Structure 1
Amino acid sequence: MRIIWEWLRRWQLSLFEKVILTNSLLLLAEAVTALWVTSHALEAHHFLIDTTFLVAATLLSIAINAFLLRASFRPLFRLLGVIRQISAGKTEARAESAPADSSEVGQLAAAFNTMLDRLEELRRQQSALILQAREEELRRVSRELHDESSQNLTAVLVYCEILLRTVESLPAESMTSETRRQLIASCQQLSELAQQTLDAVRQLSQRLRPPVLDDLGLVAALRWLVEDCHRRFCLPVELTIEEQALWQRLPPPYETTLFRIAQEALTNVARHARASRAQLSLQLASSAIHLSIRDNGLGYDPGQPSNGLGLVSMRERAALLGGRLSIDARPGQGTHVEAILPLPVS
């Protein structure tokens, strides 16, 4: 049967043609065998021979058809397995397809892979556009907070100071000492509240889109991020940057991606890891950029499902630039996040 299958494969027949040809050959062989049986003097056992021949021919026909159909549909079963993997979230899975395979199933697998590649490319383009629009919106909101809101709060501070000086300069007989004291205390409290709000707005503006990232580049932004983590979360972060990376500016998409990955990773460390220290390193190799974040916190089990979008966002950002993000975490042994991006083509 394997010889028949290999012979049929060399002919590049369709599945329908293979079944018809195989059954035609079986019928022809059965007719020749029946002719041979009837041409010989086997009358003594004629009924037994005919019955045995019919049963054997039927079983042989069923076996050959089952083998032929199973061999023909095996690639289709593999394709079905790939579809199930993709449905489970493994979007990188692809169907096996030989370049010279011109069968229906081979053509279906090739078309399926082409469709998946096209959908993946469209998804990446859409994700890139969404991330770009998001960064532009964050930049706009950050500037509005810094320019408009900060200016308004600064004006409130100035008017509070003027009001305080006015109250202090009023004649003593114009109001009681208790009223004067209450007005002065209220003006001071209002001034302190406006100053705190102004500081909070400035910090929020910097966290949304730090101006240092656009003005001075990635290295300066990472230094600001380390100081911000120490100030906000009391998390000491050791920053290590290769000397070569101190002077080389990267394209804006690369700097934004590396900064957002570092920001998300350190935020996760501060909020969930219960770590006492962390390490952030940036290494510029000959063909790739390595960003590493380590901590000595609780770690976690990567096999457990996670509802957070932070890890998904970090992986998506790295994949859009042709890179990858790996996470090495074990319960009680901390977490190591590493992003590797290929160097941009000059």
Structure 2
Amino acid sequence: MIHFLVRQVRRWRLSLFEKVILANTLMLLGEAQVGFWVTSHNLESAHYLLDTAFIVVATLTTVVINFVLLRLSFRPLFSLLATIRQISTGETQLRAPLDRHVDTEIGELARSFNTMLDRLEHTRQEQTRLILQTQENERRRIALELHDEAGQNLTALLIHNELLRQQLQLLPQQEMHPATRQQLEQGLLHLNQLTQQTLEGVRVLAQQLRPSVLDDLGLAAAFRWLVEDSAQRLQLEVGLTLEGISEEVHALPPLYETTLFRIAQESLTNVARHAQVQKARITLRQTKQHLLLQISDQGCGYDPARAHAGSGVVGMRERASLLQGTLTLRSQPEQGTHIDVCLPLPEQATSPQILEEERSYDPEQSSTNHAYCPGR
């Protein structure tokens, strides 16, 4: 009978105020009936002890019922408060639990809170996506200017240096003191070497900012270039395995190619800086539904819980999450580090609006700029 009444009350979806009023009204009616029965059966003499006991029992019953009712009604609030505290520590993926049997106002509060979190998360991801896209656009612009402006000017300087050196050699011996001629030749030679070093540095910097091979030849060629660059610049021997990756240019939207390339680039930089090893391995694989990237080394490893802010893991995970992907880092001291990235293919991961923005993007018109993988 009691369970039936409870189910009926839940079905009515009363507010907390209405529940309290209903419970107290029922208790008052019940107590009045009991009190009327007691007094009607004891008219001949006063039974103060019985009346006092009845008042005490009625009061205690009212307090207990109100306590239980309020405790049950406010339990979802305690759960909501615990969720808020966890979210404040950085677990932004959590949401307040929803129960169709809770109080109407409290349920609406939890739903509104979850909706607010979803909107904030969407806004944050959209802003981060725009920031990263602007950053890549700016890198592309700076790399292009370094190549076109600084590179061409330094090349012209090399040509002028060579012409001056040739003209100096054509001067008759008697028109210049031998010591002066030697100093000029050495000075021009030194200037030529410095110019060549600067030109090479500019080219390397431009490639690091935005490798032209990523835009010109596609993702597979960019990963091969990354392996060669790591060997030359980081003295890191990298084994590369490509499975199911198209050799076509822009077979994937630029945002996907950039995300995979930057995560691999940052991971190899971390290996060179922290792993105390000269070998690493990259595996890039495309399945029917996912893009899988694995970077591993057999270095010194570390405790991920104590990872310092400069390791770039947060940024890499943020890049993956923007494409509804996941990044899992597994590492233990003296057992190496393994990074697994899983990105859903664009058709499953990206809205038509984002895909259209990626396809229509023109860099020349821009002035600025512990996860589970389903189906794996």
Aligned mates of 1:257, 1:268 — CA distance in 2 = 17
Deviations along 1:258-282, one digit per CA (max 9) or x if unpaired, are 1111111111111111123100011
Aligned 1:166-185 pairs, distance under 5 A: 166-185=167-186
With normalisation by structure 2, the TM-score equals 0.87
Task: Name 1:258's counterpart in structure 2.
Answer: 260
Change (3 A) 1:215 1:80: same
Change (3 A) 1:317 1:99: farther
Aligned mates of 1:99, 1:167 — CA distance in 2 = 92
Task: Name 2:245's counterpart in structure 1.
Answer: 245
Task: Name 2:193's counterpart in structure 1.
Answer: 192
State the secondary structure of the residue aligned to 2:346.
coil
The partner residue of 2:329 within 319, 327, 330 is 327
Do 1:101 and 1:107's aligned partners in 2 also have CA atoms closer than 8 Å?
Answer: no
Report the residue type matching 2:71 in the other structure. Answer: R
Deviations along 1:89-110, one digit per CA (max 9) or x if unpaired, are 1111011124686711111111
Do 1:5 and 1:68's aligned partners in 2 also have CA atoms closer than 8 Å?
Answer: no
Moved more, 207-216 or 93-102: 93-102
Task: Name 2:74's counterpart in structure 1.
Answer: 73
- State the shift of 1:2 in Å: 6.6
Change (3 A) 1:7 1:125: same
State the secondary structure of the residue aligned to 1:274.
coil
- State the shift of 1:154 in Å: 0.7
Q: Which runs of 5+ in 2 are unaligned?
A: 349-376
Task: Name 2:50's counterpart in structure 1.
Answer: 49
Change (3 A) 1:275 1:233: same
Change (3 A) 1:56 1:101: closer
The partner residue of 1:345 within 336, 344, 347 is 347
Aligned mates of 1:180, 1:165 — CA distance in 2 = 12
State the secondary structure of the residue aligned to 1:298.
coil
Change (3 A) 1:305 1:295: closer
Aligned mates of 2:312, 2:168 — CA distance in 1 = 52
Report the residue type matching 1:184 in the other structure. Answer: E
Task: Name 2:144's counterpart in structure 1.
Answer: 143
State the secondary structure of the residue aligned to 1:281.
strand
Aligned mates of 2:238, 2:222 — CA distance in 1 = 14
- State the shift of 1:171 in Å: 3.1
Task: Name 1:284's counterpart in structure 2.
Answer: 286
RMSD (Å), alpha carbons: 2.0
Change (3 A) 1:2 1:97: farther
Deviations along 1:226-277, one digit per CA (max 9) or x if unpaired, are 01111111110000112x3244522222111111111111111111111231
Change (3 A) 1:288 1:178: same
Change (3 A) 1:268 1:309: closer
Do 2:270 and 2:311's aligned partners in 1 also have CA atoms closer than 8 Å?
Answer: no
State the secondary structure of the residue aligned to 2:291.
strand
Report the residue type matching 1:257 in the other structure. Answer: T
State the secondary structure of the residue aligned to 1:294.
strand
Task: Name 2:135's counterpart in structure 1.
Answer: 134
Aligned mates of 2:253, 2:100 — CA distance in 1 = 38
Paired residues in the alignment total: 345
Task: Name 2:88's counterpart in structure 1.
Answer: 87
Aligned mates of 2:295, 2:315 — CA distance in 1 = 16
Report the residue type matching 1:212 in the other structure. Answer: V
Change (3 A) 1:42 1:266: farther
Aligned mates of 1:2, 1:279 — CA distance in 2 = 66
With normalisation by structure 1, the TM-score equals 0.94
Ranked by relative contact order (alpha carbons within 8 Å, sequence separation 6 or more), the top structure is 2
Identity %: 54
- State the shift of 1:9 in Å: 1.7
State the secondary structure of the residue aligned to 2:95.
coil
